[in-house]
């Protein structure tokens, strides 16, 4: 069995809970496997499993060990942090060990950590001591030594006792001061500053793009990129990579600088270090739990990766009194977020054909559970994405879920023997209709351009009936497949000629279900016109674009009459969309489709006027609002106009009736003047409504 298979076996045993107690095979196996992973991570910079997977196995080992009545084995990974440093760098012994952190995975564990500390301090369990919660930056720990305020040595953590001398690399990072600025005018003889070097997400994406273009392998995540860039023997490359550093504590100091951790952070900031702005002080643990949980989703908005929140007792004397257990302090704990990344095997790559003919490759995965859900499919974006990363069927891949986004394959893990796997090739032909696939100039995606592709049409029918389009209840993906397969629907308008008799002949349909579906189909004729425009599936015309177009041109036929140049004049419509609309109407059958939908009684125009008939000064008139109005917001002004029966559009054209102008109006007001369109102030607009 290879390492990954051995790992999966252990994970299986763990999740089944079948070995609640350690037997000697299980202990041996866990220790050996964890040590091998640790080497891959620290020594080779090429992890095979994700950090949370590693942490989960290590936590399990610790749990088993603590239940045993014998000393922890010398080679157990629970005895040490990390692996030995690489040979290429000089080794440095840290003046004081760089500690690791214990983990808490939920509110109860956080609470339990706090109470353990209070008990040790012999304080009542309802005491509210000062705590500081900080983001746990997912980068690389560094120790920086300053002699008389000058950076003399920078070292990685290594195993906590001995790290690597990477001073030259550290000097290239702009947020690491080469000399401490001393605002209090007392030069400190020797100070060690600790913190995390990290890769901003934005520079990470740029780096991966440039690695791609140079034909090199991209990094799986910003953490690997930070560690890879930092351990380069050639520091000039490190310099070019845009790394950054957050300081979060001190090591040994020749003179004390603070009494609390938060004061210490202030001093570090006055010395010129970047301190993370999100850290927050609390009294007691209750509100800390909320703060930690709030970052699970908010982390998406940050320009750096975090993998948890570190909670620390603020008072340095209390820290001192609490002390450490082996290599972790009792005065701090890491609240770890649920995993967003995992590794698994890529079983297959299937090709999907979308409603516009766009081809999207999808990964079929050996199911893995992480962050509370089982993932067995993930997007591979497009052919280019797969080829640049050299993703092959049979590979071990890293899969990531972020926020609500669909899981994506982000990278390949280098494994022995993967070179023997065949290189993936984009198929030449559409899997559904066998026509030759084409790449549109300027786009990375491949398309099936056949107008008779059954798969494309099925997806189009599904899209047409979907909630954001015609919203036909009971008409989902399965129904679309069935209708198209049975030949009941060959063009979109035929959705409206379906009869109960047609439906009753289909499997699974009874009287009641058939009647209900027909009713929903009839009801869908009433949806607003922008939804219909979205529903007919013009490439690049999404929900918002459809709304912009209808706002501007008021009806589908008017949208489809416009030339590319006219469309381009509309705010929010670019060349790709404009061309796609013009192309769509030139496809045989589409003009007829629109005529037929209109004959069937679907809404082809924006309903004009409000319920009560509206104000005559507004009905049938088109308004553009620009600049800052004195009392109303722009959206509010829009609502005001609509309420009185007017239309609001985003760009000025000859068809605009009025332009409402506030402070700092810009080009729209100029254009109105040029076209001779009446300009109104906010007060005049309000007057108009009172006419």
Burial of 465 (0-12, 13-18, 19+ CB in 10 A): buried
Give yes or no for residue 389 binding ligand IVH (CB under 6 A): no
Choose among 217, 245, 584: nearest CA to 411: 217
Which pairs with CB-CB distance under 8 Å and at least 24 residues apart come from 389-393?
389/217, 389/218, 390/217, 390/423, 391/346, 391/349, 391/424, 392/346, 392/418, 392/421, 392/422, 392/423, 392/424, 393/346, 393/347, 393/348, 393/349, 393/421, 393/422, 393/424
CB of 611 to ligand IVH, least distance (A): 57
Give yes or no for residue 223 binding ligand IVH (CB under 6 A): no
Q: In this chain, which of 53, 192, 196, 493 binds ligand IVH, going by CB under 6 A?
A: 196
CB of 332 to ligand IVH, least distance (A): 5
Backbone angles phi, psi at 596, to 5 degrees: -65, -40
Window 276 to 335, contacts with ligand IVH (CB under 6 A): 310, 329, 332, 334
- The token pair that represents 451 in the structure block: 């107008």
Give yes or no for residue 273 binding ligand IVH (CB under 6 A): no
CB of 298 to ligand IVH, least distance (A): 16
Give yes or no for residue 99 binding ligand IVH (CB under 6 A): yes
Looking at 5-13, 97-105, 462-470, 610-618, which segment touches ligand IVH (CB under 6 A)?
97-105
Q: In this chain, which of 53, 65, 134, 445 binds ligand IVH, going by CB under 6 A?
A: 134
From residue 137 to residue 166, what is the string marking binding to ligand IVH with x (rule CB under 6 A)?
x---x-------------------------
Distance between CA atoms of 446 and 380, rounded to whole angstroms? 13
Number of residues in contact with ligand IVH, rule: CB under 6 A? 14
Give yes or no for residue 264 binding ligand IVH (CB under 6 A): no
Looking at 1-9, 44-52, 95-103, 450-458, which segment touches ligand IVH (CB under 6 A)?
95-103
Q: In this chain, which of 8, 40, 42, 136 binds ligand IVH, going by CB under 6 A?
A: 136
Give yes or no for residue 249 binding ligand IVH (CB under 6 A): yes
Distance between CA atoms of 542 and 550, rounded to whole angstroms? 12
Contact present, 305 and 319 (Cβ < 8 Å) = no
Give yes or no for residue 248 binding ligand IVH (CB under 6 A): yes
CB of 20 to ligand IVH, least distance (A): 27
Choose among 345, 274, 338: nearest CA to 49: 345
Whether residue 136 lies in the annotated active site: yes
CB of 163 to ligand IVH, least distance (A): 11
Distance between CA atoms of 155 and 141, rounded to whole angstroms? 9
Number of other residues whose CB lies within 10 A of the CB of residue 229: 26
Looking at 98-106, 160-168, 314-322, 621-629, which segment touches ligand IVH (CB under 6 A)?
98-106
Number of other residues whose CB lies within 10 A of the CB of residue 425: 9
Number of other residues whose CB lies within 10 A of the CB of residue 514: 19
Angle at 343 between CA 337 and CA 347, to 5 degrees: 140
Residue with tokens 């496809």: 587
Q: Which is nearer to ligand IVH, 100 or 342 (CB)?
A: 100
Number of other residues whose CB lies within 10 A of the CB of residue 238: 24
Give yes or no for residue 665 binding ligand IVH (CB under 6 A): no
Give me the catalytic one of 91, 136, 388, 671: 136
Looking at 129-137, 215-223, 530-538, 640-648, which segment touches ligand IVH (CB under 6 A)?
129-137
Number of other residues whose CB lies within 10 A of the CB of residue 471: 16
Residues with active-site annotation: 136
Q: Where does this chain bind ligand IVH (CB under 6 A)?
A: 99-101, 134, 136-137, 141, 196, 248-249, 310, 329, 332, 334
């Amino acid at each position: 069995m290879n390492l990954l298979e051995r790992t999966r076996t252990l994970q299986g045993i763990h999740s089944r809970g079948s070995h609640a107690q350690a037997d000697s095979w299980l202990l041996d196996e866990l220790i050996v496997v964890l040590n091998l992973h640790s080497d891959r991570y620290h020594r080779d910079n090429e992890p095979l499993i994700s950090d949370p997977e590693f942490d989960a196995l290590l936590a399990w080992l610790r749990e088993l060990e603590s239940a045993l009545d014998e000393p922890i084995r010398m080679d157990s990974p629970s005895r040490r942090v990390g692996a030995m440093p690489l040979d290429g760098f000089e080794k440095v012994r840290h003046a004081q060990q760089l500690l690791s952190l214990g983990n808490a995975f939920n509110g109860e564990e956080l609470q339990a950590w706090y109470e353990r500390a209070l008990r040790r301090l012999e304080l009542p369990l309802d005491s509210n001591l000062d705590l500081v919660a900080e983001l746990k930056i997912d980068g690389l720990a560094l120790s920086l030594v300053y002699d008389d305020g000058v950076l003399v040595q920078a070292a990685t953590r290594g195993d906590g006792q001995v790290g690597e001398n990477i001073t030259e690399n550290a000097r290239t990072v702009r947020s690491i001061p080469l000399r401490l600025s001393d605002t209090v005018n007392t030069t400190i003889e020797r100070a060690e500053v600790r913190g995390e070097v990290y890769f901003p997400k934005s520079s990470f994406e740029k780096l991966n793009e440039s690695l791609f273009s140079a034909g090199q392998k991209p990094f799986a995540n910003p953490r690997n990129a930070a560690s890879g860039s930092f351990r380069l023997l050639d520091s000039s490359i490190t310099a070019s990579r845009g790394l950054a550093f957050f300081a979060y504590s001190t090591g040994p100091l020749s003179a004390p600088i603070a009494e609390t951790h938060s004061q210490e952070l202030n001093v570090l900031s006055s010395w010129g270090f970047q301190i993370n702005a999100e850290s927050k002080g609390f009294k007691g643990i209750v509100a800390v739990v909320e703060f930690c949980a709030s970052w699970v989703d908010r982390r998406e908005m940050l320009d750096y990766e975090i993998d948890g929140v570190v909670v620390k007792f603020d008072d340095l004397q209390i820290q001192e009194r609490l002390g450490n257990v082996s290599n972790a302090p009792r005065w701090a704990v890491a609240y770890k977020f649920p995993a967003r990344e995992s590794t698994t095997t890529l079983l297959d790559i299937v090709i999907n054909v979308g409603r516009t003919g766009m081809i999207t490759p999808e990964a079929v995965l050996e199911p893995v559970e992480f962050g509370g859900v089982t993932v067995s499919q993930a997007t591979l974006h497009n052919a280019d994405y797969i080829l640049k990363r050299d993703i092959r069927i049979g590979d071990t891949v890293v899969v990531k879920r972020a926020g609500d986004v669909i899981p994506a394959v982000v990278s390949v893990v280098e494994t022995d023997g993967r070179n023997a796997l065949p290189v993936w090739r984009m198929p030449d032909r559409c899997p559904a209709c066998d026509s030759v696939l084409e790449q549109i100039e300027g786009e990375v995606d491949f398309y099936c351009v056949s107008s008779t592709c059954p798969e494309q049409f099925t997806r189009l029918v599904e899209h047409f009936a979907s909630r954001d389009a015609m919203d036909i209840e009971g008409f989902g993906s399965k129904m679309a497949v069935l209708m198209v397969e049975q030949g009941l629907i060959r063009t979109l308008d035929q959705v409206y000629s379906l009869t109960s008799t047609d439906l009753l002949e289909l499997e699974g349909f009874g009287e009641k279900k058939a009647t209900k579906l027909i009713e929903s189909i009839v009801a869908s004729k009433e949806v607003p016109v922008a939804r219909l425009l979205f529903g007919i599936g013009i490439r690049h015309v999404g929900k918002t674009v459809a709304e912009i177009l209808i706002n501007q041109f008021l009806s589908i036929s008017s949208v489809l009459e416009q030339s590319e140049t006219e469309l381009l004049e509309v705010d929010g419509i670019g060349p790709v969309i404009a061309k796609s609309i013009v192309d769509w109407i030139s496809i045989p059958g589409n003009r007829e489709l629109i005529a037929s939908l209109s004959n069937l009684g679907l809404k082809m125009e924006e309903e004009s006027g409000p319920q009560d008939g509206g104000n005559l000064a507004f009905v049938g008139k088109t308004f553009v609002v620009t600049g800052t109005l004195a009392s109303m917001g722009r959206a509010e002004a829009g609502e005001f106009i609509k309420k009185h029966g007017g239309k609001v559009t985003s760009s000025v054209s000859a068809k605009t009736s009025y332009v409402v102008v506030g402070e700092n109006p810009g080009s729209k007001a100029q254009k109105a003047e040029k076209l001779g369109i009446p300009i109104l102030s906010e007060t005049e607009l309000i007057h108009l409504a009172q006419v």
